[in-house]
């Protein structure tokens, strides 16, 4: 189900992906800055992704690979 938040349409799947990636980062005991550096993305892009606000596919792939989570 789609919903509108602050004049923006969001997909609940994006929130689930963000929560999953955040949980994996925390399990690895990495800060957002550390993961962003490992993934070669900006901290802002990582924060955007983890918050469920979405991200481009390149950012998602880089973060997933940095977490070693190719299959999930």
Q: Is there a contact between 44 and 13 (Cβ–Cβ < 8 Å)?
A: no
Task: Taking the CA atoms of 17, 20, 23 and 28 in sequence, report the sign of the dihedral they define.
Answer: negative
What the block records as the tokens of 6 is 């602050």
3-state class of 72 per DSSP?
Answer: coil
Looking at the domain covering 8-66, what would its CATH class be? mainly alpha
The domain ranges of the chain are 8-66
Average pLDDT, the chain: 86
The confidence band for 10, taking pLDDT boundaries of 50, 70 and 90, is low
The pLDDT assigned to 9 comes to: 46
pLDDT in tens, 36-67: 999 999 999 999 999 998 788 899 999 999 99
The pLDDT assigned to 70 comes to: 65
The confidence band for 2, taking pLDDT boundaries of 50, 70 and 90, is very low
């Amino acid at each position: 189900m789609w919903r509108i938040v602050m004049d923006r349409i969001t997909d609940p799947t994006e929130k689930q992906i963000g929560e999953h990636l955040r949980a994996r980062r925390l399990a690895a005991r990495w800060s957002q800055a550390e993961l962003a550096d490992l993934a070669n993305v900006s901290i802002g892009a990582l924060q955007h992704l983890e918050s469920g606000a979405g991200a481009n596919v390149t950012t998602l792939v880089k973060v997933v690979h940095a977490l070693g989570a190719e299959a999930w």
